[in-house]
Amino acid sequence: MAAAGPGGSADKASKVKSLLASYYDLDDGDGEPSPSLYDTPRTAPSPGAVQRSLAPSLGGASAAADVAALNASYFDPDAYLKRVLKETRLADLAALQRDMLGEVGGLDSDMQMLVYENYNKFIAATDTIKLMSASMEGMDDRMASLRTLIDGVVATSETVNGKLQQRQEEVEELDAVRGLLTRLQAVFDLPRKLRAAIDQGAFEVAADCYADAAPLLKKYGHKGAFKRVAADVEALGHELAALLRKRLLAAPDQAAECIAMIAKLGEPTESLQEDFLECKRQRLEGLLAAAGLMLKTLAVDRGLLTPAELGSVDEGLRRRMLEMFRPAGEPAAPLSGSAAILGGGGGGQTPLPSLHAVIVELDGRFITEITRTAALFAELFPPGGRKRLFKMVRECFARYLKLTRRALSDASAIAAATAAGITTAGQLVQPLEEVLRASQLAAEEEAQGYGGSGAPSSLEESIAADWGTAGLLQGLYVVKTDLVRLDTLLPELSPRDRGAELVEHTVRQHVSLCFAALERRLLATAEALAAELDSPECRRNGGAKQRAMAQGLAVLQALLVQGVERLLRSLKEYERQAWVLAGWQEVFVNAVHGQLQNLFLSLCQQLLAAAALAAPPGLSAAVVGSARSTVESAAPFAAVQRRRTLSLQEGGSSMLSGSSGSGLSGSSSGSAGGGSCDAAAGPPPPLRLLLCHLCKFAEREAVGLALVLLQQLYPERLLAGGEELPAFQPTELGRQLGATAGALLQGYVDAHGASLAAAADASTAATEWTAAREPRAPRPVCDAFLEKAADVDVEACYLLASPSDRGSGAGSRLSRGHSRAPSAASAASWDSSVLGTTQQQGGWGGGAAEASGQGGFVEASVSRMLASGRDRGGWGSGGLELSRPSIAAGVLSVGLRALVEGLRRQTLGRGAFQQIQLDVHYLRPELQRLVAGAPAGPAAVQLLDELMAVAMERCTEPLLVDSSVLDRVLAAAAAAKQAGGGGGVPSMSLL
């Protein structure tokens, strides 16, 4: 180290510093001192051992600051060295030198390693620099030559441009003139092009040509030769607009394209809106007209309308209807009357679509068209014209709702009539003879022990289980869903609310029509029974009359019970669909209760009308007070009852007087007929007795069964509290049915009594009372009285006998689970027997838990109803009851009263007086036998005493005959009658 010398060390240090600076790209500026060994980008090394050893000797904070300043730019080595030499001991200086020599040796090693590692890079860099230096030789000369060349090119270009500037301006001006001439030529050729495009039907091309030339003609059309071109183009534009409007009306599917082309012709927006809406209106009206024609055609075919109401049909409308409603998969059905329009008048067979298919097709087409119309209007026109759209759509939408409501109403009527077993005109589908035969066969099977086979008879199938609820639900769901879809585009129409109203109206009307159809089925059966009883075979007592009366009553009872049960069960389907009764379920339940109440009340009035009797004032008020919403229906069967009710209310008094005032024309000619009367008397008297039994059955059985059904199927209304009376009131129904039965029974008695009164009057008028001889036998009128009483007793026996005696068959079999308990003292036991029997047979449905949970209400109601019926006791004048003695007493009382009144106006001789005594003696034992046990029996027997008293009062020589003599005369008369001697009565003096 000593040989190195100070100069060599300094050079070496400088060299090392330069290498490090070049390697690390450090700035080695002049103004700044060179960095020391420790001034590197790396982390500053910690103080060396010398520094660490010097730090304590340098003393405290100043020594530490000096050590830290070794790497600073302001570090002064000489001052530092002097201070260290001055303040440090020799041993420390020697140690410091050793450390510094070691550090210098380490730095040299590091430098040698760095040079070795980067030697290749240094060589490559050196070569590159040499190559670049060689390449740059002569570059300045070449750049100067290039600049000279470019300057020459610029000068030449400026010379050429100066020479061509004038000609370029002339060329551009000529090109502009050529373009203008081309456009002008196109303008002058525009009328010809427009004409050619219009003639070829290329309306879109013509509209585009017109739109391209419109701005130019608008700007220059008033100048020079442009006037004629503008006039021609304007005329062709009007012609094109008219043709597009025609296409718009003829092809509504192309409305959007036509409107777009008309807009290119410069038509105002208001005019375009009117054209578009008029096109859509005609399309919608055509669709609705075709649907209306189809609905009328179906109504004619189903009997809801007459062919005269359909009228003549336009051929174009007929074709449009056939295109819209094509039946799919239905068999061809022959058409009659005006319904043959589907075949174009050719008389062929053309299948008719179902009402459900018509409803779905109409709904789909109308809602789709009106939705598309609203969407296109919003796309083509600004929102300002929406009022015009709403006005047009509102009118068509109202017609659509009317047609849909009518279609659903017709579907309800057809379904109700089909389920009830009647035509839409109210006639029976199954002839009465078949029904009676089925009832008789069922009675015979049950009598022989075959009634439990479970196979449904034709009588059981006469009332369907499905009353059309499922089909209506399908149609209503389709309509309501589409109306909800329409609500997004046309909320102004309130389609959701209209859909809810349509559902409620349809359900209400369906319920009403079903009950009206059931009522009409009962009345049509009663009318058929009236015709059967008025036939020659049934005018005398015998097998034909017994069959008609007994089986007829069984059929009516079965129809009433089975019809009410199946109808209520079918209507229950509405409650299973939550969307149908949303918001008005309580109203629906009330409607069902009210319609069932109306059924029994209206049935009372209609049965009295069928029997040609006037309704009691209380019944008329009850029927008027209970509303029936069938007024809007076109079903004829629903109008039959209304017409009959109106005629009954207008002329009820004449019916009653007519039925009681008619009688027989002879003394005994009518009496032998077993209940026959003059044609002017109205329906046959047995019908009134039969209907009386039906009313009593309804009072005692059907009302209670209906109450049980309502408790099981529609319990909400029964359990509802409040001051409002329940819609179904069994007590009131029992009272009205009892009054109706009393009126019918009184009419039956009056009808038979009228014939006896006529016979009595005729006999009184034909007898010579002052010159009468001694009696030889009772007068023929006495036999007429007894024969009439016997006939009435037989008629009553046909209906009053037990089911096993008369073989009520199907009627009892269908209602055997609904018969009264043997004792009416306990309504609860009756109700329990009904519930137990029906649960075993499975005919009522519903679980035992449901029945038992609400049985207390039903038991109480039925108990009150039956108790009130028992408290009423007899009904009619004089305690008239539905029993054989009571009926006989009533009929004979009318005849005897006529004899008494007729005798009061006569003057009797002795022979006539004795004749009356013989008649009374002859009638008394038979009359007492016939009226025994009747409440009015004593009064009837008392009329015989009254007859004798009047005879004694009106006789000039009242001389009584001994009863033994009367017995001998009657015995002789009986023997002579038995021997067949018409006039061979032995001469026997009463004296």
pLDDT tens figures, 535-570 = 888 888 888 888 888 889 999 999 999 999 999 999
By the 10 Å C-beta count (0-12 exposed, 13-18 middle, 19+ buried), 649 is classed as: middle
Q: Identify the top-confidence range among 160-174, 348-362, 437-451, 887-901.
A: 887-901
- 120-141 pLDDT, tens digit per residue, is 888 888 888 888 888 887 788 8
Contacts (Cβ under 8 Å, ≥6 apart) of 347: 340
Neighbour count for residue 800 (Cβ, 10 Å): 16
Residue 820 reports pLDDT greater than 80: no
Q: Is the dihedral of CA 936, 941, 945, 946 positive or negative?
A: positive
Q: Residue 51: pLDDT band by 50, 70, 90 thresholds?
A: very low
Residue 818 reports pLDDT greater than 50: no
DSSP state letter for 45: P
Q: What is the DSSP string of 76-105?
A: -HHHHHHHHHHHS-HHHHHHHHHHHHHHHH
Of 272-286, 441-455, 769-783, 967-981, the least confident = 441-455
What local confidence, expressed as pLDDT, does residue 694 receive? 93
Residue type for 409, please? S
Residue 99 reports pLDDT greater than 80: yes
The encoded tokens of residue 772 equal 């009468």
Contact 609, 620 (CB under 8 A): no
Where b means 16+ CB within 10 Å and e means fewer, 236-251 reads: bbeebbebbbebbeee
**pLDDT mean over 220-231:** 72
User: If you compute the radius of gyration of the chain from its CA atoms, what whole number of angstroms results?
Assistant: 60
Residue 34 reports pLDDT greater than 50: no
What local confidence, expressed as pLDDT, does residue 447 receive? 67
In DSSP terms, 422 is beta-bridged to 428
Contact 712, 846 (CB under 8 A): yes
Four-point Cα dihedral 620, 623, 628, 631, nearest 10: 0
What local confidence, expressed as pLDDT, does residue 112 receive? 85
**pLDDT mean over 458-471:** 79
Residue 857 reports pLDDT greater than 80: no
Q: Residue 429: pLDDT band by 50, 70, 90 thresholds?
A: confident
DSSP state letter for 815: T
What local confidence, expressed as pLDDT, does residue 855 receive? 45
Residue 207 reports pLDDT greater than 90: no
What local confidence, expressed as pLDDT, does residue 269 receive? 64
Of 267-281, 491-505, 516-530, 944-958, the least confident = 267-281
What local confidence, expressed as pLDDT, does residue 450 receive? 53
What local confidence, expressed as pLDDT, does residue 90 receive? 86
What local confidence, expressed as pLDDT, does residue 568 receive? 92
Taking the C-alpha atoms of residue 172 and residue 164, their distance in angstroms, rounded to an integer, is 12
Contacts (Cβ under 8 Å, ≥6 apart) of 457: 438, 441, 442, 810
The pLDDT mean for the chain works out to 74
What local confidence, expressed as pLDDT, does residue 65 receive? 53
Higher pLDDT, 14 or 758: 758
**pLDDT mean over 76-87:** 85
Q: Residue 85: pLDDT band by 50, 70, 90 thresholds?
A: confident
Please give the share of the chain, as a percent, with pLDDT higher than 70.
70
**pLDDT mean over 956-962:** 87
* DSSP helix/strand/coil, 908: strand
Phi, psi (rounded to 5 degrees) for 546: -60, -45
> pTM of the full predicted structure?
0.67
